[in-house]
A and B are shown apart, each in its own frame.
Chain A
Amino acid sequence: MLGGGILHGLAVTAKNFVGSFTDPERLVTLGYPEERAPAKENARQFPFLVFDGADPQAGLRCVACQICEKECPPQCILIVKSKTKKPDHLGKPQFFPATFDIDLSVCMSCQICVEVCPFDAIKMDQEFELATNDRFEGLLRHRDQLARPNAHFQKLHPTDAAAIDARRAEELAKAAAAATAAAAAPRKPAPESPPAA
């Protein structure tokens, strides 16, 4: 009937109005600063640098290979390679970044730096409350601000972190086995000890 659509619409809104009081499932919004939605594992905002152990300086995985700097589409990364070397997790001497700056005002969160890094040294953070009064210095992150422990990475992306940690542990075991084999080889040239596979 004429006007029936209006009554139907009124019924729909009345159902929503009453339902929002009786059914908490309907209220999909969150009172943001106090309530937060649980973070999604694949959420990403801006990159950070991973370090192992307790010392961000010694444990930094980055070897300043500068692949990410070259691949970065908006060119927001600046790396200056060190003059000296420091041992990596396998004990091999490697360069490290003397400067590692990311300009968050330029970064477009594309994750290409993470994809290209062969050392699993750069990963995506989930921090998004980055408002600042100073849009130049406040959004320019330096190496020491970017460095986060591996535990942080494990918390944000548990699946990725578990796979990477397993691979690194395997590499470490392989390297240790190779080192013992190398240490044993000159003393015992006999062929009965094949290198650990």
Chain B
Amino acid sequence: MDAPDQIFVLLKHAVVSWFPTPVQPWISAVLSIGAILAVYPMIFALTTVIERKALGRIQNRPGPNRVGPAGFLQFAADGIKSLTKEDIVPRAADSVVHFLAPLVVVVPPLLALAVLPVGRNMVALDLPETGLLFFLMVGTAVELGVFMAGWSSHNKYSLLGAMRAIAQLLSYELPLLLSTVSVVMLTGSLSLNAIIGHQSEVHAGVLLGWNVFTPWGAAGAVLFFIAALAEANRSPFDLPEAESEIVAGYFTEYSGFKFALFFLGEYLGLFAVSGLGITLFLGGWLPPLTVLSWVPSWLWFFGKLAVLMGIFIWLRGTLPRLRMDQLMRFAWQFLLPMSLINLLVAALWQYSTPWPHLLRWLPAAILFGIPYLLYHRAFLRQHPPRTYRYAS
């Protein structure tokens, strides 16, 4: 392919070829790991600044604007601050587990990011048999780190936060998994590269076959990203660290760089799960239209990631935090049934291939429309329109 698309791949091959053949696989691995360790924390740093500035703008204030040009070096100041702060370990804490918890939170997202294809031929660890499975299993390990942090801190707020986190992560794991299952059903492979390849077939001469352009893909993407927000502890599902209720949740007793590691792990988890959503539903590194295929593939991936981050920041600036019972009810009574319906829709889509295109959308519209209306009616029955009386 053309040079800008493959620039990083060619660069890596050039560097690897300087070394003798026996060490070349090791050098290749080190370069891939180095790239992941450099790129994603850098995106994390920029995201924190942009997030704070965007939230400020949503609240009609300028946001951080002191450090560096327009405040964009704020992350450096924050990093230096967290590095130089005292690392406090409570006397009652289980010091080994307390020390390990931030690492257990940071490592799984990095492992998950390793299997994500970020461009054509750009994947650090290609697992042709088990890519998606590996990703989801590694992502589940974060729950262990969260619970280690909450339990070892010997603090009621930490424990409450950890309990909330476990309840939330386990509940939202199901809709997350079920919405990815439909993709696996239609692709017939767990390999993330194969899933992207399946989306590259061209429809109507211009449009690429992203899964989000199908009824099960669109619904699956919505369900997936709602569950992803909850998995990543993002607002409005940030109950495990609800500042106004339980101080900082499971990392209440963490300070200095360990606190920064939790923060980093949370954002890396968000990048990983968003990257998976991009891969499964939004065509990975594929452009939406064939005429746009001159744009480098890695630019498509990171551009989609940036757009998703923007939407998540927007949602964070808009929605208030859910209550615990609302959170659970939403997961078990809305997301889970809807993702089960989505499996049915995906199956119908698969077996209605000979039908005309518009007719294939009909069963999906019926299957999603009827439960949606029923939910709407149930909601109105539970929450009738309020009448406000004002003092005259």
Decide yes or no whether B18 CB sits under 8 A from chain A.
no
Rank and list the top 3 A-B pairs by shortest CB-CB distance, nearest first: A2-B376, A13-B318, A20-B57
Q: Is chain B's binding surface mostly helix, strand, loop or mixed?
A: helix
B372:A26 contact, CB within 8 angstroms? no
B372:A16 contact, CB within 8 angstroms? no
B314:A16 contact, CB within 8 angstroms? no
Decide yes or no whether B130 CB sits under 8 A from chain A.
no
B319:A6 contact, CB within 8 angstroms? yes
What number of B residues sit within 8 Å (CB to CB) of A?
A: 17
B318:A6 contact, CB within 8 angstroms? yes
A2:B375 contact, CB within 8 angstroms? yes
Q: Mark A20-57, 1 if CB is under 8 A from B, else 0.
A: 11000011110100000000000000000000000000
Decide yes or no whether A73 CB sits under 8 A from chain B.
no
B60:A20 contact, CB within 8 angstroms? yes
Decide yes or no whether A10 CB sits under 8 A from chain B.
yes
- Whole-angstrom distance from the CB of B240 to the nearest CB of chain A? 22
Decide yes or no whether A93 CB sits under 8 A from chain B.
no
Decide yes or no whether B351 CB sits under 8 A from chain A.
no
Decide yes or no whether B61 CB sits under 8 A from chain A.
yes
Closest Cβ neighbor of A5 among chain B residues: B319
Q: How many A-B residue pairs lie within 8 Å, measured between CB atoms? A: 44
Given contacts A1-B376, A20-B62, A26-B60, 18 further A-B contacts (CB under 8 A): A2-B376, A2-B379, A6-B318, A10-B314, A12-B318, A13-B58, A13-B317, A13-B318, A16-B57, A16-B60, A17-B54, A17-B58, A21-B57, A28-B61, A29-B61, A29-B62, A31-B62, A31-B65
Closest Cβ neighbor of B379 among chain A residues: A2
Which parts of B102-126 form the interface with A (CB within 8 Å)?
Answer: none
A10:B60 contact, CB within 8 angstroms? no
CB neighbours of A12 from chain B (8 A) = 318
CB neighbours of A19 from chain B (8 A) = 60
- Whole-angstrom distance from the CB of B50 to the nearest CB of chain A? 12
CB neighbours of A31 from chain B (8 A) = 62, 65
Give Cα A31–Cα B64 distance, bound, in whole angstroms.
11
Decide yes or no whether A14 CB sits under 8 A from chain B.
yes
CB neighbours of A191 from chain B (8 A) = none
CB neighbours of B62 from chain A (8 A) = 20, 27, 29, 31
Q: Is chain A's binding surface mostly helix, strand, loop or mixed?
A: helix
Give Cα A26–Cα B56 distance, bound, in whole angstroms.
12
Select A10's contact among B54, B315, B379, beta carbons within 8 Å: B315
Give Cα A14–Cα B317 distance, bound, in whole angstroms.
9
Using a CB–CB cutoff of 8 Å, the interface residues on chain A facing chain B are 1-2, 6, 9-10, 12-14, 16-17, 19-21, 26-29, 31
Closest Cβ neighbor of A20 among chain B residues: B57
- Whole-angstrom distance from the CB of B320 to the nearest CB of chain A? 9
CB neighbours of A10 from chain B (8 A) = 314-315, 318
A16:B61 contact, CB within 8 angstroms? no
Closest Cβ neighbor of B377 among chain A residues: A2
Decide yes or no whether B59 CB sits under 8 A from chain A.
yes
- Whole-angstrom distance from the CB of A81 to the nearest CB of chain B? 51
- Whole-angstrom distance from the CB of A67 to the nearest CB of chain B? 45
Closest Cβ neighbor of B65 among chain A residues: A31
Which parts of B177-215 form the interface with A (CB within 8 Å)?
Answer: none
Closest Cβ neighbor of A15 among chain B residues: B58
A9:B61 contact, CB within 8 angstroms? no
B60:A27 contact, CB within 8 angstroms? yes
12 A-B contacts, Cβ less than 8 Å apart?
A: A2-B376, A9-B318, A9-B319, A10-B314, A10-B315, A10-B318, A13-B314, A13-B318, A16-B58, A17-B58, A19-B60, A31-B65
CB neighbours of A20 from chain B (8 A) = 57-58, 60-62
- Whole-angstrom distance from the CB of A161 to the nearest CB of chain B? 36
CB neighbours of B54 from chain A (8 A) = 17
Give Cα A9–Cα B320 distance, bound, in whole angstroms.
10
Give Cα A31–Cα B318 distance, bound, in whole angstroms.
25
- Whole-angstrom distance from the CB of B334 to the nearest CB of chain A? 9
Give Cα A2–Cα B378 distance, bound, in whole angstroms.
10
CB neighbours of B319 from chain A (8 A) = 6, 9
CB neighbours of B376 from chain A (8 A) = 1-2
Select A28's contact among B57, B58, B60, B379, beta carbons within 8 Å: B60
CB neighbours of B65 from chain A (8 A) = 31
CB neighbours of A6 from chain B (8 A) = 318-319
Q: Mark B367-387, 1 if CB is under 8 A from A, else 0.
A: 000001001100100000000
- Whole-angstrom distance from the CB of B368 to the nearest CB of chain A? 12
Select B59's contact among A1, A9, A16, beta carbons within 8 Å: A16
A27:B379 contact, CB within 8 angstroms? no
- Whole-angstrom distance from the CB of B263 to the nearest CB of chain A? 23
